[in-house]
Structure formats: C-alpha cells, structure tokens
Homo-oligomer: A and B are copies of this chain.
Amino acid sequence: MATMRKHYTVNRPVYSDDSFAEDHEKIFRLRKTPLDKVKEYLTCDSKRAKKVALSFLPIIGWMRIYRIKEWLLGDLVSGVSTGLVAIMQGLAFSLLASLPPSYGLYTAFFPVLTYFFLGTSRHISVGSFPVLSLMVGAVVTRLVPEDGPSANFTAFYNLTLYEKRVVVASSVTFLAGIFQLAMGVLQVGFIVVYLSDTLVSGFTTAAAVHILVSQLKFVFGLEVPGFSGPLSIIYTLESNFVQITSINICDLVMSIIIMIVVFIVKELNDKYKAKLPVPIPIEVVMTIIACGVSYGFNFEKKFGVSIVGKMVSGYESPIAPSVQVFQESAVEAFPIAIVGFAVAFSVAKVYSIKHDYTIDGNQELIAFGVSNIFGASFRSFAASTALSRSAVQESSGGRTQIAGLISALMAMVVTLALGFLLEPLPRSVLGALVIVNLKGMLMQFREIPYLFKRDKTECVVWVVTCVSAILLGLDLGLAVGLGMELLTVVFRTQFPRCSVLANISGTDLYRDRKDYVELYEPRGVKIFRIPSPIFFANIDFFKDKLVDAVGFNPLKVLKKRNKALRKIKALWERGDVQSTEKDLWGLFPQTTNMDQMDLPSDLKELPSKICWNADLPGNISVPRVDIHSLILDFSAVSFLDISAMKGLKTTLKEFINVDVGVYIASCDIYIQEKLHSCMFFDDDIQTSMFFPTIHDAMLHVLEEHEGMNKGYVVRTNIIFVDAFLVVMELKM
C-alpha cells in the first residue's frame, strides 16, 4: 500500500475470506458465554462486596464529600422552596388520584425518606407526578366507583368510600414498588430504552389531555363520577357537558382568574429568568390568597364551593396491602412502575450530565421500588418525580438530597400542625393550578408537524400512541404505542431497497447501476446488494427482488430443465436421438414423477453436459439463464435469524442447481460464525463463497470464467463437453 498525495494505490492478492484467513492469522479470543457472565456476576470477594454495599447505599458516596459550609445553605433554601411546591402539588395531584388531598402530603414525605438513602440522583425531587397520580386514580375509580358498588374485597370490610380508595391506591403503589424492586434486582433497567422520545412525547401529551379533562369538574364545580376503561374520557366529557347548566359560577370565575394570573406571572418568570434571584412563587401566593378569601367570605356555605375540607391531622398507622387488589390491578401496576421509573430516570439523567456525576439505572429502580413499598405502607400513593418540582430544587441551589429531606420535613409540618390552614381552600383552585401547569405538556402537539416533515413513520408512532392513550386509557395506550414502535423497527427493514450494483469504471467501487453512466458490467455476473438485516419479515421480499434482478426464477428453470430431460429421454426411447456413446440409457433419471421435479438434475454419471442455452432437439425450450455468477453484497446485513437462514440456503441452492455460482461479499464475521454453528454449509454451499469485498469476488469470478464469455453456463470443476448435444442435433 502506498499513500500518494490525493491518490490511492493498492496492490495485493485477490482474497477470498478463506485465503485471507490463511495469510493473516486470527488471534484466538475466548468469548464470554452468558454462563461466564452469570458466574462473574455471582463471584464475591471483599472488594466487590464493599463496592456492592456502597452502590446499594449511594448516600455514603456523597455524604463523604459533603462540603457543609459551601453546600448546606443552598440545600436549605432549595429545600424550603421545593417544600412549598411539593405541598401544593401533593394536594393538587391527590385530586388526580381521586383521593383526599391530605394523602398527597404523605406522598411528599414518606418516599423521600428512603430515596434519601438509596437514590443515586442528587437533584430530583421525589414525590407525586401527575401522570402517575392519574394512572393510580384510574384503578381507584374502577375498583371503588362513586356511584355503584365497590369491588368485593375482604380488606374493604367496614370502610368508608375514601378509606377503601386509600387501600386501593396504596396497594397498587405497593405492587408497582415490588415490580420496580424486582426489575432493579434483576438488573433490567435497560428496558426503559424501549420508551423512545417519540413514544414518551405522545404518551405524556395524551396524559395531559386526560389530566385536563379530569380537572374540568373541579373548575366547573360539578359532580362527575369517575369513569374507567376505554373511552372513559368521552364519558367524562359527556357528563361535564350534560351538566353545563349547573356550573358553579364562583368556582369558574375563581379558576379563570387564577389561571390567567398564574399563566402571566409564569411567562414573566421565564422572560426575566436571568434577572430574578428566585422565580416568583405565584402558585403559593395565589393559594394563600384563595384560602384567605374563601375563609373570609365563607365560600363553602355562601356559594356551595367544594373545599379541601377536614385534613387528616398527623399520620395514620401503617396498613398491609390487599392481595385481592394486587390480583385485580397487576396489569395496571406494571405500567405505573415503568412510567414512574422512566420519568424519574430521564430527569435524573439530565441533571447528572449537567453536574457531572453518574447515576445508576438499576439502583434507581431499587430506590424507587423500596420508596414506593415503604410509602404505600404509610398510605401514600405512587411516587416518581415532577420535572417542574425538580427544576425548582436544582435551580434554587440544591446540591444533594439534603434539600429533598428538608422539603419532606416541610410536608410533615403541614401534615402535623398547619393542615387546618388549608381546609378552606377551594378544590377549583387546585384544579386550576393543575391545568395551568399542563402548558408544557400540551405544547408537545407541535411535535406532529416537526416529525411529519422528517420521518413519517415516527409521526405515525406519535399519533397512534397519543390517540390510543387518550381513547383507550393510559395503560392500554402505552402498550399499543409500544407495540407500534416495535413494529416500526421491523417495518423499516421490511421492504429494503435492494439494488443491482455495477463497477464504476476505473475504480474498485460499486454503485447502484441505475444511478451512474460510466459503468463496467462484465457479462454473466450480477451483483445484488441487500441493504438491511434479513429476518422472518423480509426474507420472502428479498427472494422476490433477487428473482426480479436476475430475470429468472431458478426453481422454475430447474423444473423446466428436468421436464426437458424427460422429453429428451422419450425422444431417445423412440430412437429419434442417438448418441455415439455406449451407455446413454442409464443417464436419464429413472423416476420422473412431479415430486422430483424440484430436485437438482441428477447428471452425475453423464459423460457430457447439456448446454441449456443452446437450441435443444425436438423443439424443447427451457428459459435461458444468462448469468454464471451471482455476487451478494452482505455489507449491510447486520443479522440473520433462523427463518432467513433457511430461506437463504434454499435460494442459494436453487441458484447453484442451475449452475449459477453464488458469492457473498463483505459478510460480517459474527454472521459467518453463526452460519457455521447452525450448520449452514454443506457440499453445495461452502465457505469458499465468502469474499472480503465485492471487488475481490468480482476478480475471482472473472478469473474463473476467463475466456468463457460466450454466455455459457458451466460449473467450475466440470469439463465442458457438448458432444452429446452435437450428436443429437445431427440426428434431428
């Protein structure tokens, strides 16, 4: 190899993969089998044990480097700000879960305690998350509807409606926690990669629509029963609009005012982000004002406004989850576990990159699993993180989970001592605050034109996920979206754009024959490029394209040839054809029923070969085969499955049976190894068919067929004799 300025010179032997292996010895590498990996995973020594212990309690890691002087103040300030938001959101999101507001405060407290010790992210604020709350709410209203009999569980004995709901919510949370813990222990945290950005965007947009619809009843001050199951959103909307005349004007006006004020102030916060030391806590301000006004003017009595009402003061004794609820809600708890983790992990990842520390997906799963199990035992509902709350925690100076702990303590203070202050707060205010915070999520509708322009397939995934999550409910919609997304991966490779390549004159490069003019295409050679992996969904498509490209179906040609052989035999029997050879009779296949038509022509003992492309006696005609070699470009074939392997083997054999040599160029070595282990090779299909580049294969083919450019088809190691046919033709 010589490197010249702007020129390329290579002079090396023509290699097949076999001859390359002879010249260049491969280093023997022992690959780890899955068993080795399991063994390695289970190996235990003191160092490893220490590491595992440390990774199980990430708090040890960051506590050791905690700089009290520099960080504590920031954590304190951040904890207080986050605490205010956490309390507000706790109250509001518990309405989404169809639970009394005080349970939202529990969710802002208990899960944080365990996450403090177990979590690897230092910046996320653990607690309620609207989508998750809504998903819990769907189970709650399904099992304990407002207007109808609750499910018949032993755990419900002697309980009020809301007590039953709390049992359901905490049991579902407990189960989701078990799922998370199990996934963490089994180290399968990677499954969140299946939730692509597109999917998550469509899903959360749908969730925003659900949240919006679910809060309408609070804004309107209406009594709307909780619907569950597919199309529940339609029924909820219907129920709202049927009652449109009984809207509580006081609720509506108050909600609209709050929404407008909060919206404007938030925009200002955003605009003057750089200039404000902390964003104006407008939600807290509005809540306090609303509380005061509601108490002062006695809204509840005067205008029939629905208020937060009696808060449970202090904490209640822990409860055991109900196994019957587990059985009824397993299908819903699983998506709760997945979504809860996926959201928290993606937020955590953003901050970990920004602040340059590592987070561990599996440890996060364990942390959230334990937090949810612990929280559920104390009646809190499913916890994850809300992006808005985490943003407050991080931007107001929080550096570690100390800030989270402080926010939890604030929630505790409200629960234990100040809860009564929130009692006059109208529920419509909470609803309005939830709705106004949906802006960001609803803005994701703008993804549709963006994706449409760039990638139609992903646009379809977005729309299908969103529509099915809206109409079928979040859990089912997520499943449909996931299925759709997996389908797109298959779909992208299902109809590959196969092409016939030709040599660009004067180079060793090969390009699509239709794209260029100055091409060199030697007679009798076809180069076919497969631009994708081959597997069950596209093997037939690829076969059809190959048949199109070469211009004949090898199986049909073989059948026609075998039929022609029979006819020639009949001619022979009638004495129309004679041969100078002594024992021609034994040459013809003895049994020629239809079943054997697709076996290769059995001409082993023939002293001569029939030249199929010449004129045959007795007006027998068979389709012409005008290629002698087929080169398959495998450079983009990244995997083969069993179906593809079977199909490929059949196809290759069909070509070999009609005397077309098949060569494979640029095949991945792992695929070659797999072909070996699957017993792909036999007498017809040999490893000598592999070449490192198309050019090597082409040079090899040209050499083999030197001087054979008359369009004849021959097998490499068979002497070409046409005596037999000459004799027959003379006789005719």
Contacts and interface: CB of A to CB of B under 8 A. Distances in A.
Contacts of A637: 636
A506 B702 contact: no
Contacts of A196: 535-537, 641, 643
Interface stretch (A81-89, A513-521, A608-616): A513-521
A1 B642 contact: no
A492 B531 contact: no
Interface string A15-26: 100001000111
A523 to B, nearest CB: 15
Contact of A695 (B8, B517, B594): B8
A312 interface: no
Interface in A618-652: 635-639, 641-643, 646
B638 A514 contact: no
A668 B490 contact: no
A348 B511 CA distance: 38
| Count of this chain's copies in the oligomeric assembly | 2
Interface in A479-520: 483, 485-490, 492-494, 496-497, 503-509, 511-512, 514-518
A12 B556 contact: no
A152 to B, nearest CB: 18
Contact of A24 (B486, B504, B595): B504
A590 interface: no
Interface string A671-698: 0001001100000000000001101100
A13 B6 contact: yes
A108 B267 CA distance: 71
A8 B3 contact: no
A669 B512 CA distance: 10
Given A24-B516, A514-B27, A668-B531, A356 B556 contact: yes
A536 B198 CA distance: 9
Most chain B CB within 10 A, of A5, A10, A512, A518, is at: A10
Contact of A3 (B193, B487, B535, B703): B703
A353 interface: yes
A643 B638 CA distance: 20
A555 interface: yes
Contacts of A24: 504, 511, 516, 518
Interface stretch (A334-342, A451-459, A717-725): A451-459
Contacts of A26: 515-516
Given A13-B6, A27-B515, A194-B537, A638 B699 contact: no
A512 B31 CA distance: 14
A507 B642 contact: no
Nearest to A459: B642
A559 interface: yes
Most chain B CB within 10 A, of A3, A511, A516, A696, is at: A3
A270 B253 CA distance: 84
A29 B643 contact: no
Given A537-B194, A638-B531, A638-B533, A9 B11 contact: yes
A82 B353 CA distance: 70
B489 A490 contact: yes
Given A27-B516, A517-B25, A531-B668, A7 B14 contact: yes
Nearest to A510: B692
A147 interface: no
A532 interface: yes
A642 B538 CA distance: 23
A493 to B, nearest CB: 6
A509 to B, nearest CB: 6
B678 A454 contact: yes
B5 A703 contact: yes
B678 A455 contact: yes
Interface in A294-332: none
Given A514-B27, A515-B29, A559-B356, A496 B638 contact: yes
Interface of A: 1, 3, 5-15, 20, 24-27, 29, 193-194, 196-198, 353-356, 451, 454-455, 457-458, 483, 485-490, 492-494, 496-497, 503-509, 511-512, 514-518, 531-533, 535-538, 540-541, 555-556, 559, 594-595, 598, 635-639, 641-643, 646, 666, 668-670, 674, 677-678, 692-693, 695-696, 699, 702-703
Given A1-B505, A454-B678, A636-B636, 5 more contacts: A1-B508, A8-B13, A489-B493, A492-B533, A531-B668
17 contacts: A1-B505, A3-B699, A9-B10, A24-B504, A26-B515, A29-B515, A193-B536, A193-B540, A194-B490, A196-B641, A197-B536, A198-B536, A354-B594, A356-B559, A492-B639, A635-B636, A636-B637
